[in-house]
């Protein structure tokens, strides 16, 4: 079965992760622009980071048979450095126009400061200008109010909830998010936030409509195989295949596909990636034997 991980920070992951993900059925990933683990101090760092997302990381993923897409945005933590944020906002349009950029994101609130609010709103306007979906990061602290406020602001800017994914949901927020017409994503972490078993229970209770599973794997303790592992646990607990397909593949494709930049045809046609032919000993291979990867996703099962 094919899976999509629609939220994963691959710049922090190893080539072993790429190999394991592909072996587990992950055919495409979306890498949202986010915080680095420490604050950047100048706009050049953002420029190079965004360039990496559309350049080297995209190439690196391709060498393991995985299609790499990204979202571009100024994250809420770093929105608090206003002098820098102003400059970052200036360069965003140049990246939002690029191929394979499937949304503005991840944006939203962290501490819910005035500065966060200001740049969140500016970026919602950019999403309208570029006709792109929005990926929302909801705060870990004061989650309930932060999530409700996020939705109020999105609606105030006249954005259709059907083009917005609200991420990092829990059992409580999912109700409001879906009732108001948004896509509800769940980040499955090995320890904190949402566990695989809690996700199975949510799928049992809510079904699959507008529900999306992701790993948000990054530089912290996290699991790049969260999506296929959660799917396996769902299967074990009798969740219908149709619902697994929707939550672990199709829903992400539907919502981010609205960008026109995220198409199943990108990965269902057979591609042979010959690492030797492409790379020699000079790039992602360091002296190990080059592999021929036969890479073909399967058509929709239902």
Partner 1 sequence: MVSKQQQKEFITLVSTKLTSKELVWVSTKTAIVSDIETSHKFKVFFSLVARFISSDNPSWDKNETETMEAIYPGFSKSIWSKQDLVRACLMIALDPGINKPLLLSFFEIAEMKEQVALYKGLYLLENASSFRNQVAEGIRTNMVNVFDAIASGNPYPKTYLDEDAWNQLILKSFFMDRKLYLIQYVDQGKNENLANMLQDYVKERWAAGRQVSLEIWRMINGYLREDIKALFSKRTFEGKENEVVTKLLQQNNEPIPAEFWDGMASTN
Stretch that binds partner 1, among 33-41, 96-104, 145-153, 236-244 (CB under 8 A): 96-104
> Taking CB under 8 A as the rule, does residue 14 contact partner 1?
no
What is the full DSSP assignment across 29-70? EEEE----SS---SHHHHHHHHHHHHTHHHHHHHTTT-EEEE
User: What residues contact residue 100 under an 8 Å CB cut-off, 6+ apart?
Assistant: 54, 58, 68, 69, 70, 261, 262
> Taking CB under 8 A as the rule, does residue 272 contact partner 1?
no
**Helix, strand, coil percent content, the chain, rounded in steps of 5:** 45, 15, 35
Taking alpha carbons only, the member of 64, 1, 60, 63 closest to residue 297 is: 1
Binding residues among 273-292 for partner 1 as defined by CB under 8 A: 276-283
Stretch that binds partner 1, among 35-43, 88-96, 136-144, 157-165 (CB under 8 A): 88-96
What is the full DSSP assignment across 254-270? HHHHTTSS--THHHHS-
In eight-state DSSP terms, residue 290 is P
Binding residues among 31-50 for partner 1 as defined by CB under 8 A: 47, 50
Are 215 and 3 spatial neighbours (Cβ–Cβ below 8 Å)? no
> Taking CB under 8 A as the rule, does residue 58 contact partner 1?
yes
User: What residues contact residue 54 under an 8 Å CB cut-off, 6+ apart?
Assistant: 70, 95, 98, 99, 100, 101
> Taking CB under 8 A as the rule, does residue 181 contact partner 1?
no
> Taking CB under 8 A as the rule, does residue 67 contact partner 1?
no
Query: Minimal distance in Å, beta carbon 43 to partner 1?
Result: 12
- Rank residues 220 and 260 by Cβ distance to partner 1 and give the closer one: 260
> Taking CB under 8 A as the rule, does residue 91 contact partner 1?
yes
> Taking CB under 8 A as the rule, does residue 95 contact partner 1?
yes
> Taking CB under 8 A as the rule, does residue 99 contact partner 1?
yes
Query: Minimal distance in Å, beta carbon 231 to partner 1?
Result: 30
Q: Can you tell me which of 51, 145, 269, 288 binds partner 1, judged by CB under 8 A?
A: 51
Query: Minimal distance in Å, beta carbon 67 to partner 1?
Result: 12
Rounded to 5°, angle at Cα 28 from 233 and 163: 90
- Rank residues 95 and 120 by Cβ distance to partner 1 and give the closer one: 95
Q: In b/e form, how buried is each residue of 216-241, taking b as 16+ CB within 10 angstroms?
A: bbbeeebbbbbbbbbbbbbeeeebee
Binding residues among 100-119 for partner 1 as defined by CB under 8 A: 100
Phi, psi at residue 119, to the nearest 5°? -80, -25
Stretch that binds partner 1, among 53-61, 73-81, 158-166, 216-224 (CB under 8 A): 53-61
Binding-site ranges for partner 1 (CB under 8 A): 47, 50-51, 54-56, 58-59, 91, 93-95, 97-100, 260-261, 276-283
């Amino acid at each position: 079965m094919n899976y999509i991980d629609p939220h994963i920070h691959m710049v922090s992951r190893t080539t072993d992760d790429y190999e394991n993900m592909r072996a587990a059925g992950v055919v495409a990933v979306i890498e949202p622009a986010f915080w680095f683990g420490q604050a950047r101090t100048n706009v050049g760092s953002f420029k190079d980071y965004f360039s990496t997302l559309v350049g080297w990381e995209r190439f690196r993923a391709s060498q393991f048979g995985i299609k790499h897409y990204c979202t571009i945005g100024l994250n809420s933590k770093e929105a608090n450095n206003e002098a820098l944020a102003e400059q970052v906002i200036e360069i965003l349009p140049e990246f939002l126009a690029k191929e394979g950029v499937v949304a503005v994101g991840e944006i939203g609130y962290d501490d819910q400061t005035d500065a966060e609010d200001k740049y969140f709103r500016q970026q919602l306007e950019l999403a309208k200008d570029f006709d792109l979906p929005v990926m929302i990061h909801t705060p870990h602290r004061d989650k309930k109010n932060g999530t409700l406020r996020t939705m109020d602001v999105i609606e105030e800017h006249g954005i259709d909830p059907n083009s917005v994914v609200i991420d990092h949901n829990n059992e409580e927020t999912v109700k409001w998010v879906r009732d108001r017409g948004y896509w509800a994503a769940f980040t499955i972490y090995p320890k904190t936030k949402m566990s695989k078993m809690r996700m199975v229970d949510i799928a049992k209770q809510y079904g699959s409509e507008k529900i999306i599973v992701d790993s948000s794997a990054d530089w912290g303790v996290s699991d790049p195989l969260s999506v296929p592992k959660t799917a396996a646990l769902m299967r074990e607990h009798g969740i219908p295949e149709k619902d697994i397909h929707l939550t672990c593949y199709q829903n992400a494709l539907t919502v981010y596909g609205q960008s026109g930049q995220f198409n199943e045809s990108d990965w269902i046609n057979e591609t042979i990636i010959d690492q030797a032919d492409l790379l020699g000993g000079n790039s992602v291979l360091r002296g190990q034997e080059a592999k021929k990867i036969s890479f073909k996703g399967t058509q929709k099962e239902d």
